[in-house]
Amino acid sequence: MSARLVLPALFGLAMAVALAGLVLRFDWLCLPALLAGWYLADLLSGLIHLALDYHPCPAGKGLDEIFFYTGSRESADYLARRAACMARLNAFQRVVFDFKTHHPRPDALGRRSLGHQITPTLVLALPAALVLDIAVVWGTGPGWTIALGTSLLLGSAFAQHFHGSLHCPVVPAHIMLLRRVGLLMTPAAHQLHHDTLQRDFATNCGWSNPLVNRLFRFLRRRGMLDDAGLEPVG
Ligand SMILES: [Zn+2]
Ligand SMILES: [Zn+2]
């Protein structure tokens, strides 16, 4: 198995254990707990998105050159410049830069493979899933705690996949179904974020956007979240 598949495979296995535990200990409280976990995953997507949009990229790495590159992004020149820049960044800085480039070129995220979209998230989600499994196998907590954890972890792990699907002209049937029942937001609702970059940062179902928007306005009034952080500088 290639290294790229190891994380998703382990996460899938860990979630299968959690889901089995959920089935075995299911009671009526699991239903609101599943929705609460889904809300928390949406909230997490909004808070992380807000923080990374406004967190500045490191200066002096040449990131402005590739961000504002005017030639073809498929050219050898661009690809070489981009590879050189990325080699100068650590993993966190690369994720921060990805959030900036998503705004002028949102469709690129939608074109990425599922593995590419979710692997950075799985680095954190997998250890959390293993902790949940320990609670499932050796713990004696009520079923609703497993429901909350399972829903939160699934919503968090696939957050960038859900976000990417908002920029895809054609999406799979399961995404359409989740949108239809209100468990995922629509591209029109997400466009409100891209119109101003000052609202609606949550990208799963959008239920937490009223809360995240209040937090954004609170921080802006205190002089935080400077627009300068939205684009890399030289
Ligand atoms: Zn954004
Ligand atoms: Zn977007």
Ligand with smallest separation from the Cα of 98: 1
Measure the CA–CA gap between 195 and 41, rounded to whole angstroms: 23
CA 49 / ligand 1 centre spacing (Å): 6
Summarize the confidence of residues 171-179 as an average pLDDT: 95
Give the Cβ contact number of residue 101 at 10 Å: 18
**Residue 3 confidence (pLDDT) above 80:** no
**Do 110 and 166 meet the contact criterion of CB atoms below 8 Å apart?**
yes
Contact 129, 11 (CB under 8 A): yes
Confidence of residue 1 (pLDDT cuts 50, 70, 90): low
pTM of the model: 0.92
Residue 118 or residue 216, greater confidence: 216
Q: Which ligand is nearest to the CA of 48?
A: 1
pLDDT digits (tens, 9 = 90+) for 91-103: 999 999 999 999 9
Burial of 18 (0-12, 13-18, 19+ CB in 10 A): buried
Q: Number of helices (H) and strands (E), helices first, in the chain?
A: 12, 0
Residue 2 has pLDDT above 70, yes or no: no
The rounded percent of the chain whose pLDDT value lies above 90 is: 83
Average pLDDT over residues 156-178: 95
What is the per-residue pLDDT for 174? 94
pLDDT, averaged across the chain: 93
pLDDT at 234 over 80: no
Confidence of residue 131 (pLDDT cuts 50, 70, 90): very high
Kindly tell me if the per-residue pLDDT of 12 is higher than 70.
yes
CA–centroid distance, 92 to ligand 1, in Å, is 16
Q: DSSP code of 34?
A: H
How many Å lie between the centroid of ligand 1 and the Cα of residue 199? 9
